[in-house]
């Protein structure tokens, strides 16, 4: 695990993978772009004035795009601190900003932190037996509204075999493709 790069005023992004029992990466979680339904992308974007670092930008953008809501700075800080304290950044790449690689189990932690801050969140219906029911969430989470102010940017979430992505079986946004090729 690595300590995240914390530069200011540059883009940040999150790449999410799933591993098998031998810790081999088998899948990548991507969003289908709401602006072009033929393309898939990672989670990330440009810094906002309230972001203290590219790591904060990456976490804020991930929450906005994956969970489709604008997180408070206290949620972003809690997530950042938890990922650092628990050494959950698998790898990072600097390319037009910084992208951080995390395992899908980290998404479950982020989900639980959001619910700690907002127990009555609409996301709470996906807490089943103290676990994130991501399969139901992925099935339900289809956004057709136009993107506006950081929301509705991702139409739907998909688990894609990493080998299919690397063999160009999916059309990726240019930046996402470059980042994935640098990581893998």
Residue 2 counted as domain residue: no
Confidence at residue 63, expressed as pLDDT on a 0 to 100 scale: 97
Residue 126 lies in a domain: yes
Q: How many domains is the chain built from?
A: 1
Mean pLDDT of the chain: 94
Grade residue 167 by pLDDT with cuts at 50, 70 and 90.
Answer: very high
- Examine residue 6 and state whether it is found in any structural domain, yes or no: no
The domain of 52 spans: 12-183
User: Facing residues of 102 across strands?
Assistant: 16
Three-state DSSP state, 133? coil
3-state secondary structure 74-113: HHHHHHHHHHHHCCCCCEEEECCCEEEEEEHHHHHHHHHH
Tens of pLDDT, residue by residue over 20-38, are: 888 889 999 999 998 888 8
In a domain, 3, yes or no: no
Q: Tell me whether residue 122 is in a domain.
A: yes
Residue 2 has pLDDT above 80, yes or no: no
Q: Collect all residues with Cβ–Cβ distance below 8 Å to 44 and sequence separation of at least 6.
A: 11, 12, 13, 14, 57, 58, 61, 62, 65, 97, 99
Please say if the pLDDT value at position 1 is more than 80.
no
> Is residue 150 very low, low, confident or very high in pLDDT (cuts 50, 70, 90)?
confident
| Average pLDDT of the segment spanning 6-16 | 94
Q: What is the CATH number of the domain that holds 95?
A: 3.90.79
How many residues does the structure list for the chain?
A: 184
Write down the pLDDT at residue 28: 95
Q: Is residue 116 included in any domain, yes or no?
A: yes
Q: How high is the pLDDT of residue 124?
A: 96
Mean pLDDT of 161-168: 95
Is 20 contained in some domain?
A: yes
pTM for this entry: 0.94
Question: pLDDT tens digit string along 113-144?
Answer: 999 999 999 999 999 999 999 999 999 999 99
**59 vs 92: CA distance, rounded Å:** 13
- 1 in any annotated domain: no
């Amino acid at each position: 695990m690595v300590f995240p790069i914390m530069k200011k005023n540059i883009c940040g992004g999150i790449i999410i993978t799933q591993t098998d029992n031998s810790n081999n990466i088998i899948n990548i979680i991507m969003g289908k772009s709401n602006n072009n339904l033929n393309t898939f992308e990672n989670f990330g974007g440009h810094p906002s004035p309230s972001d203290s670092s590219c790591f904060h930008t990456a976490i804020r953008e991930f929450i906005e795009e994956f969970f489709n809501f604008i997180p408070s700075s206290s949620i972003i800080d809690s997530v950042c601190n938890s990922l650092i304290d628990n050494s959950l950044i698998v790898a990072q790449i600097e390319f037009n900003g910084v992208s951080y690689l995390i395992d899908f189990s980290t998404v479950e932690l982020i989900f639980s932190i959001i619910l700690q801050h907002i127990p009555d969140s609409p996301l709470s219906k996906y807490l089943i037996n103290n676990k994130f029911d991501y399969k139901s969430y992925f099935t339900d989470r289809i956004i057709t509204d136009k993107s506006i102010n950081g929301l509705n940017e991702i139409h739907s979430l998909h688990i894609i075999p990493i080998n299919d992505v690397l063999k160009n079986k999916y059309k990726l946004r240019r930046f996402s493709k470059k980042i994935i090729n640098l990581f893998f």
